[in-house]
Amino acid sequence: MSLTVRVLLGLVGGLLAGIGVAASGVPALETAADWIEPLGRIWVNAIRMTVLPLVGSLLVVGVVGTNVRAVGRIGGRAVALFVTLIAFAAVLTALVTPPLIARLPANPEAAAALREGLVQAGEVTAETQVLTVREWLVGLVPTNPVGAMAEGAMLPFIIFTLLFALAAARLARERRELLTDFFRAVSEAMLVLINWILKLAPVGVFALALNLGANMGLAAAGAILYYVVIQSGLCILLLAGIYPLAVLGGRLSLREFSGASLPAQAVAFSSRSSLASLPPAVEEARSRLKLPDAINSFLLPLGFSTFRITAPVPMIVGAYFIAYFYGITLEPMHLATMVVTSILASFTVPGVPGGGVIAALPVLMAVGLPVEGIGILLAVDTIPDIFRTTANVTAIMGAAVVLARGEERVPLEGGPPAGTLAHGQKVAPHGGEPYP
Ligand code: ASP
């Protein structure tokens, strides 16, 4: 049985088992589920632990080994593409949401049920830092790169690494090669490690899905369901739109694109973290799609750190939902403000579960909505987050194949071809067996 099938079985089996455990109400089964649940988190942690060393080493190898002009060119095109796609998502959300929310009848009971969610959500907000766009801009240059790494602040870390690599590219050849060889070895070791971790995907996905099923099994109701459906529907729409864009813009077959996106999508779907989905995406881009090194080493880390195509969805749908909930009418001017703010704030969305809702705060504040409403959104965020993260990750893969067109499909200067180890031995992707 292929790993793909095993991961899908893990997902479906975990969800059904979780719902069954919740419905049965048997304490022994609930205890068993509680013991299995940490396996999922351990598995996601294992993937996430590879992210910083992988991104850092790939960036250095990418920038020092690629010519600097290519990095500048891809960076400019990438930002233009990201902003265009996010603006499209913002306008689509702004057009679709108001008429749908207008259909909601006033429902005091649903409001009371949702308010209970505020209590749980309090925990989540307490540990997550909320940034305004201005603070985010200032924080882009880290005062302490090690601090940025320790906090997992991806963008400041990337900016430091990029500057370090640009400086290293100016060194004498011998020193430059010393650094490139070292960081290339680090990135190859990380890719081997990721292959090992991905082999455990069926177990990790089962444990994560079990927890999801056990918690969400009976929770769906009225207004929450409506909110969840609108948000998820918009994300699925965006997700579906990425495929033709990638196929036409990247000139590859639908099968190639969907096959290469699947591993990252599986991690995104089960972990709700785009950042955790970076390693399998890089691996597929290298070994299956054979994208240019400048894309794998530079564009993918940049995209996974900054580009969230669905960011405007929770921001705008969430704002309308809170306005409905508190009985506030939003004017067209508010809508325009939200579109613009959501595009800017999209770059502050951390690629972690619920990141998009947390980063919606500046948008709520921009139109004077009660920020406590964010708690309601967080309390019901699991399902929309699954679709957001999956769409986000697919959009990054789509952007990568589109931007790869026109970049030379050549190995880095002075290094072995992508997908090979230093002495020419092939990196066995996924230990020789295709993973999902
Ligand atoms: N969980 C999403 C991601 O990692 C961010 C979000 O909450 O929208 O892409």
C-alpha of residue 232 to centroid of ligand 1, in Å: 13
Place of tokens 């969840």: 228
Banded model confidence at residue 7, pLDDT cuts 50, 70, 90: confident
- Span between the terminal Cα atoms of the chain, in Å: 11
Banded model confidence at residue 393, pLDDT cuts 50, 70, 90: very high
One-letter amino acid at 409 equals R
C-alpha of residue 130 to centroid of ligand 1, in Å: 14
Banded model confidence at residue 434, pLDDT cuts 50, 70, 90: very low
C-alpha of residue 307 to centroid of ligand 1, in Å: 10
Residue 412 reports pLDDT greater than 50: no
The better pLDDT of the pair 216, 203 is held by: 203
- Which one, of 403, 230, 193, lies nearest residue 313 by Cα? 230
Give pLDDT, residue 113.
44
SS3 410: coil
The token pair at 135 is: 């603070």
Residue whose CB lies within 8 A of the most ligand 1 atoms, among 47, 51, 86, 310, for a mutation test: 310
Mean pLDDT value across residues 142-147: 88
Nearest CA to ligand 1 atom 1: 353
Cα angle, residue 295 at apex, residues 155 and 157 outer, rounded to 5° = 15
The token pair at 48 is: 């996430």
Banded model confidence at residue 245, pLDDT cuts 50, 70, 90: very high
Specify the ligand 1 atom closest to the Cα of 351. Answer: 4
Percent of the chain exceeding pLDDT 70 equals 78
How far apart are the C-alpha atoms of 73 and 79, rounded to whole Å?
10
Specify the ligand 1 atom closest to the Cα of 313. Answer: 8
Contact between residue 319 and residue 330 where contact means Cβ atoms under 8 Å apart: yes
The token pair at 27 is: 């304490």
C-alpha of residue 179 to centroid of ligand 1, in Å: 34
SS3 426: strand
Residue 411 reports pLDDT greater than 90: no
How far apart are the C-alpha atoms of 159 and 184, rounded to whole Å?
19
Q: How many CA atoms lie within 13 A of 174 on its CB side?
A: 0
Place of tokens 């921001």: 315
Residue whose CB lies within 8 A of the most ligand 1 atoms, among 273, 317, 363, 393, for a mutation test: 273
- Which one, of 311, 214, 201, lies nearest residue 266 by Cα? 201
Contact between residue 42 and residue 209 where contact means Cβ atoms under 8 Å apart: no
The token pair at 432 is: 């020789």
Specify the ligand 1 atom closest to the Cα of 353. Answer: 1
Q: Distances in Å between the alpha carbon of 137 and those of 146, 175, 212, 344, 349?
A: 19, 33, 35, 11, 13
Specify the ligand 1 atom closest to the Cα of 310. Answer: 8
SS3 374: helix
How far apart are the C-alpha atoms of 336 and 339, rounded to whole Å?
5
Banded model confidence at residue 379, pLDDT cuts 50, 70, 90: low
Banded model confidence at residue 215, pLDDT cuts 50, 70, 90: low
Place of tokens 């813009």: 249
Banded model confidence at residue 399, pLDDT cuts 50, 70, 90: very high
Phi-psi region of 430 (alpha: psi -120 to 50; beta: other; left: phi over 0): left
SS3 420: strand
Contact between residue 191 and residue 427 where contact means Cβ atoms under 8 Å apart: yes
Contact between residue 64 and residue 168 where contact means Cβ atoms under 8 Å apart: yes
Mean pLDDT value across residues 355-362: 79
Give pLDDT, residue 367.
78
How far apart are the C-alpha atoms of 63 and 296, rounded to whole Å?
11
Give pLDDT, residue 420.
37
**Which of 15-29, 165-179, 264-278 is predicted with the least confidence, judged by mean pLDDT?**
15-29
Among 65-69, 105-109, 211-215, 323-327, name the most confident range: 323-327
Among 31-35, 174-178, 309-313, 357-361, name the most confident range: 309-313
Residue 76 reports pLDDT greater than 80: yes
Percent of the chain exceeding pLDDT 90 equals 26
The token pair at 94 is: 């702004």
What mean pLDDT is reported for the chain? 78
**Which of 75-84, 143-152, 181-190 is predicted with the least confidence, judged by mean pLDDT?**
143-152
